[in-house]
Amino acid sequence: MTATRGELMGSGPRYMQLATTLINEIRSGHYPVGSLLPTEYALCGQFGVSRFTVREAVKKLVQQGLIVRQPGVGSRVLAQTSATQYTQTMSGMTDLNHYADETSLLVRDCQIREVRGETADRLGASPGETWLHIDGLRYVKGQTQPIAHTEVFIAPRFRSVSGIAGRMRRALYEVIEEQFDCRIHSVHQEIRAMILPAATAKLLGVPARSAGLLVLRRYVDERDDLVELAINVHPADRFIYRESFRRDWQART
């Protein structure tokens, strides 16, 4: 079913307005925890909108951890307040800047470290090299729980970078580019599922051995030399990674 003329009017997407209304009604207790939301068909009738609009609105509530969709049952209310969850949409370097703008890194420790063993292997470094190591927690504005534990390793030639302290609201690679004759040419990203070790889980305020997501980003310069390695560990329920793919080949005739 396509969107109606009324759904295309107004300053914002109709599904977002519907989602906001449903969120407010859940918070007010109109739909108590454990109860079911009206069916899609019923919501279409109540709000005079298309099924597409209802589905997109309900999807927002699922993403925020407020409801769960159960096949054959319906949409059941799980909580009155949203989980601390961040959705990252990536299509290029610009989106990494948006990520830095929308979140902040609270630096817990920053010191020069000698790298060895697995760390040296991951960096492609010789044992004994001294890299700048940054340890911190990443937050979304307005949330009290961190969305990630972050470790950053900065190559020895940039270890004197200044201003890495407190709450950082800029991308670290931009700070490096400003202070050194350096330009990040590309970023290589790797994502893995993981089980959170006890120490990391404690920092993030979740149970030990709960599900997590490991996101590694390698920032390299125009010579393909590693400038920065960022290691982000997210609790599974606080981070969503979204990426769009565009078809770039021509159909054969």
pLDDT digits 0-9 by tens, 130-188: 999 999 999 988 788 999 999 999 999 999 999 999 999 999 999 999 999 899 999 99
Taking each helix axis as running N to C, give the angle between helix 51-63 and helix 14-28, from 0 to 180 degrees, rounded to the nearest 10: 50
In this prediction, residue 143 carries a pLDDT of 82
- For residue 101, pLDDT over 90 is answered with no
C-alpha–C-alpha distance, residues 53 and 40, integer Å: 10
E strand segments, the chain = 67-70, 74-77, 86-90, 103-114, 130-140, 148-154, 167-168, 184-195, 211-221, 226-235, 239-243
How far is Cα 54 from Cα 161, in angstroms, rounded to an integer? 50
204 touches 211 (CB < 8 A): no
Q: How confident is the model at residue 3 (pLDDT cuts 50, 70, 90)?
A: very low
Q: Please tell me whether residue 128 adopts helix, strand or coil conformation.
A: coil
Reply yes or no on whether the pLDDT at 1 is more than 50.
Answer: no
Contact 234, 240 (CB under 8 A): no
Evaluate whether the domain defined by 5-77 bears CATH number 1.10.10.10: yes
Mean pLDDT computed over every residue of the chain:
85
- Look-up of token digits 């991951």: 122
Is 5 a residue whose pLDDT tops 50? no
Any residues with CB less than 8 A from the CB of 108 and at least 6 apart, and which? 135, 136, 137
- CATH 1.10.10.10 maps onto the chain at 5-77
Tens digits of per-residue pLDDT, 224-246?
A: 999 999 999 999 888 777 666 66
123 has a pLDDT exceeding 60: yes
Task: For 86-243, give the CATH class.
Answer: alpha beta
- Please choose, from the candidates 159, 194, 154, 192, the residue with its C-alpha nearest in 3D space to the C-alpha of residue 171: 154
Q: Which residue has the tokens 């001294």?
A: 130
Tell me phi and psi for residue 169, to 5 degrees: -115, 15
pLDDT exceeds 80 at position 247 = no
What count of other Cβ atoms lies within 10 Å of the Cβ of residue 171?
21
| Residue 107 pLDDT exceeds 70 | yes
- For the segment 17-35, the average pLDDT, to the nearest whole number, is 90
C-alpha dihedral sign at 122, 123, 126, 130: negative
Give start-end residues of each CATH 3.40.1410.10 domain in the chain: 86-243
pLDDT at position 4 is: 42
The C-alpha atoms of residue 42 and residue 167 are separated, in whole angstroms, by 47
Q: Would you place residue 88 in the very low, low, confident or very high pLDDT band (cuts 50, 70, 90)?
A: low
Instruction: Show the tokens assigned to 201.
Output: 């889980």
This prediction has a pTM of 0.63
Asked whether the predicted pLDDT for residue 83 surpasses 90, the reply is no
Element (H, E) at 216: strand 211-221
Q: Which has the minimum average pLDDT: 72-86, 120-134, 155-169, 192-206?
A: 72-86
100 band by pLDDT with thresholds 50, 70 and 90: low
pLDDT at 245: 63
